[in-house]
Structure 1
């Protein structure tokens, strides 16, 4: 089933359920929600206005709350949890995977967090404290402690008997981790190898040694890159002494990769990647106003530069007509470079060893683009206004701004990264400011020098 078809199916279901809810067909809605996959129920909740979402939630049995909360985005989950009693939240977390439990608890307000933690039984509280021991956004914070381990001195037959006694393996188990008596990781055995090996074969002769493991303190983004490079389904997580702590599975890494992509996309508009589509109006307005205020300041800076040439603009009205062309072209060119560099930084492709090559490449592209579009705009303006000098002025300004766009597109994200500021969040505004100021100054400054 294609993604587009699934999305259409879910959208149609949402429309039908909302209509049924509005008609008071609560039993029908309740049964429909109970027969839907958990991911689809989460989609329904995230796609519904707050009041409708609350009504849907009340129709779902509490035994399914935990599974659904795991699938929701942070902001939507918080809006639902804030309306639940601490005991109900604690009940929903029963049986929840360790990493999902830690994520849920971290997202709660401090007072509710403590109440929920106190409401957990001793086993769940221990699991929560174990997961919360690691900083957020690290491999330790997203690992699961539900891991099957075996010893190297047992036979395949013994392991298979042990697995049959367990009756069920953790989700996405593609291999078993081999540890010594001190829980130090020494290897792994693929399930496919285990099933095809002779029963009397010792695990020590079957296991893969010198395997890569993920340090618990490694960032989750770097862990996701390791999964991508090595095509893992699951990977062990170890501490600094190589003791096995748990494992990370591909489903968690897919979520992290998707969240990183959403973060980059939403940050360029100054929005939170966990933004609730149907969040309260006042809350959404407050979040967006901050970014609009920043944009207003940068727009005023560009306007101030134009104000320096007020006399020139009053004498030559044609300059006011053409004044927007150069900054606009520079902004587009700069954002192309900026997007490319931010993506390269996210993928780990940019380092101190290749920064100079990247800068030289983008300067060269800026020069070539500048020459191409400078000649083109000069020809258009020269024919349109019958003024060769004016054509030369706008051509020079275009060349300078394209060059500035290329340099800024590389320099801005690298400088922001050095100061630990997210380039996706602030890079676009800074770059646009630079290209606006350079474009206006180059065009009007050159015009005042040559034409007045």
Structure 2
């Protein structure tokens, strides 16, 4: 019964794996039959095998690796989520790991090395051919999160004065070509890239056409020290397929391809989402309990401090709350609306900062727009809540107080949702990580103070 439930649960997550396949996979693992497991996975893509490993428990994962170990290749290792990759590599025979990493491009090897301890890194490096090892070590010398770490050293280059015929003859004679490539990069005598042409245009042209006449307008280079997030943004903005990477002397050192750029875009979006929730970007459902607790504790503690600050504001109006119970009933509504409005604006602002849609040039216009949106929403919900309060408690002035408080709270929420991320970004602090607690504090304090302060003046 438990196995049937697991099959149903996993097939809901992985559409590519049928319930029949899962039945066979789990049965093979239960019977410890490596041949049956190999047969069940013969037609399964490496990325789907990686997904299977993520869905299994830790004990099941170890059993899977033991049974399927000799079939592991580089594609599976590169597709495995980094949260479980080290566990899988440690469970595999050393000779299997060594053979698997030899199949990979240098950028994929670097991606694997970044998640391993020093002993594991040393073993994989020693498993590589000398040329591949030098390429990987060269890439690892660049800063973490840079274009140099993201690039692959395997490039296809020809002199810039080559014709199509010379290029085709050169490629046919070459034995070192990458398994996949999109552009042929033109370089000058100093090894500096000056352009590139797509394989399609080159193969369609006459043999006597010079490659410079086929060079793409999209050609641009990026420094090896450039942040990988900026690289991904350039790929997305200019619809690039690949981009040469250069060193300080503008000499070609590698190339970044679109698949790696899209992975970075996905990771950046995931990182922003997790940070907005106050969760570490390394968090995963496969993490140990203590690691998860430790990762979430800090921001929960910060939220506790901000909640205490809001409570201090409430305590300033104890007499008013005792004199009129309706204030205690309606007070959370104002704060909740402010918090939600602030979170909406903050999320838009943080994402706009990450994509560079929000800059110093348009900050004032965006701020005015969001302030107007917050004020209009405040007026609309103020009217709604005044009607609710008047009907509920039968006190006309209470209805007027909550309406005014709603306008002030939603306007301040819109203001703080834009201003605080901007200020944090200017201060060099990641707004995705730090904006949440500050925006919540502002909206709670303003909401409570506006509602209770107005009530004390108007009603009491």
TM-score (norm 2): 0.90
For 1:396, the equivalent position in structure 2 comes to: 404
For 1:361, the equivalent position in structure 2 comes to: 369
**Which structure 2 segments of 5+ residues have no match?**
1-10
Q: Which residue, out of 138, 146, 149, partners 1:141?
A: 149
Asked if 1:261 is matched to 2:272, the reply is no
Cα distance change of structure 1 residues 309 and 20 upon mapping to structure 2, 3 Å threshold: farther
For 2:240, the equivalent position in structure 1 comes to: 232
Give, in whole Å, the separation in 2 of the partners of 1:378 and 1:34.
66
For 2:341, the equivalent position in structure 1 comes to: 333
For 2:14, the equivalent position in structure 1 comes to: 7
Give, in whole Å, the separation in 1 of the partners of 2:79 and 2:237.
26
For 1:186, the equivalent position in structure 2 comes to: 194
- The within-5 A match list for 1:364-375 is 364-375=372-383
Asked if 1:345 is matched to 2:350, the reply is no
Cα distance change of structure 1 residues 112 and 10 upon mapping to structure 2, 3 Å threshold: same
For 1:416, the equivalent position in structure 2 comes to: 424
Cα distance change of structure 1 residues 274 and 44 upon mapping to structure 2, 3 Å threshold: farther
TM-score (norm 1): 0.91
CA deviations over 1:171-202 (Å, ceiling 9, x no partner): 55222111122211122122122112222333
- The within-5 A match list for 1:9-408 is 9-10=16-17, 12=19, 13-14=21-22, 16-62=24-70, 64-83=72-91, 89-114=97-122, 116-117=124-125, 120-166=128-174, 169-208=177-216, 211-408=219-416
**Which structure 1 segments of 5+ residues have no match?**
none
Cα distance change of structure 1 residues 396 and 86 upon mapping to structure 2, 3 Å threshold: farther
> Is the partner of 1:145 in helix, strand or coil?
coil
Query: Is contact 2:335-2:443 (8 Å) kept?
Result: yes
Report which structure shows greater RCO (CA 8 Å, sep ≥6).
1
What's the offset of the Cα at 1:142?
0.5
Query: Is contact 2:158-2:185 (8 Å) kept?
Result: yes
CA deviations over 1:330-381 (Å, ceiling 9, x no partner): 1111111111111211111111111111111111111111111112211221
Give, in whole Å, the separation in 1 of the partners of 2:258 and 2:165.
29
Query: Is contact 2:29-2:67 (8 Å) kept?
Result: no
More off after superposition, 389-398 vs 326-335: 389-398
CA deviations over 1:11-44 (Å, ceiling 9, x no partner): 7444652354235444322332344211011110
Q: What is the count of residue pairs matched by the alignment?
A: 449
What's the offset of the Cα at 1:208?
4.6
